[in-house]
Amino acid sequence: MYGKMHSACLYGIEGVMIGVEIDLANGLPQTSIIGLPDSAIREAVERVRAAVKNCGYRYPQQRVTVNLAPADLRKEGSAFDLAIALGILTTSGQLMMPAAEEMLLIGELALDGSLRPVTGVLPMVEAARRSGFSKVLVPRGNEAEAALISGMAVYAAGHLRELPHPADAGTGAADQPDVVSDKQRHIPQASADHPDNEPPLPFPVTVMDSQGDSGRIHQPVMALNLEHLRYHPQHSVSSLSGTADEMLREDFGDVLGQSHVKRALTIAAAGMHNIILAGPPGTGKTMMIKRLPGILPELNDSESLEVTKIFSAAGKLTDTRSGLLRSRPFRAPHHTISAAGLIGGGSIPKPGEVSLAHRGVLFLDELPEFSRNVLEVLRQPLEDSVVTISRARAAFTFPARFLLACSMNPCSCGYLGNTGTQQRCTCSPAKIAQYRAKISGPLLDRIDMQVDVPRPSDWKGQGPALSSAEMRRDVLRAQQIQAERYSKLPISWNSELSGAALRRYAALNKESSLLLHGILESLGLSMRAHDRIIKLARTIADLEGAAAISSAHLAEAVQYRNLDRQVVAEE
Among 160, 92, 134, 96, residue whose Cα is nearest residue 6:
134
Range scoring the smallest mean pLDDT among 195-199, 302-306, 468-472, 555-559: 195-199
Q: For 120-167, what is each residue's pLDDT tens digit?
A: 999 999 999 999 999 999 999 999 999 999 989 998 999 988 865 444
- Judge whether residue 347 has pLDDT over 90: no
Band (pLDDT 50/70/90 cuts) for residue 423 is confident
- Judge whether residue 243 has pLDDT over 70: no
Band (pLDDT 50/70/90 cuts) for residue 278 is very high
12: helix, strand or coil: coil
Give ∠ CA 329-333-339 in degrees, rounded to 5. Answer: 115
Tally of helices (H runs) and strands (E runs) in the chain: 22, 21
**Mean pLDDT value across residues 292-303:** 94
Average pLDDT over all residues of the chain: 83
Q: What is the 3-state secondary structure of 66-87?
A: EEEECCCCCECCCCCHHHHHHH
Whole-number pLDDT of residue 523? 82
- Judge whether residue 330 has pLDDT over 90: yes
Among 375, 181, 422, residue whose Cα is nearest residue 274:
375
46: helix, strand or coil: helix
**Mean pLDDT value across residues 94-115:** 89
Percent of the chain whose pLDDT exceeds 70: 81
Pairwise CA distance, residues 81 & 106, whole Å: 8
Among 323, 314, 326, residue whose Cα is nearest residue 353:
314
Pairwise CA distance, residues 522 & 513, whole Å: 14
Range scoring the smallest mean pLDDT among 19-23, 63-67, 181-185, 472-476: 181-185
- Judge whether residue 494 has pLDDT over 90: yes
Strands 103-105 and 135-139: what pairing? parallel
**Mean pLDDT value across residues 414-441:** 81
Band (pLDDT 50/70/90 cuts) for residue 36 is very high
Band (pLDDT 50/70/90 cuts) for residue 205 is very low
Q: For 206-233, what is each residue's pLDDT tens digit?
A: 444 444 444 333 322 233 334 444 544 4
**Mean pLDDT value across residues 275-302:** 93
Band (pLDDT 50/70/90 cuts) for residue 552 is very high
Q: For 7-29, what is each residue's pLDDT tens digit?
A: 999 988 999 999 999 999 999 99
- Judge whether residue 342 has pLDDT over 80: yes
Q: Is 296 left (phi over 0), alpha (psi -120 to 50) or beta?
A: beta
Whole-number pLDDT of residue 458? 57
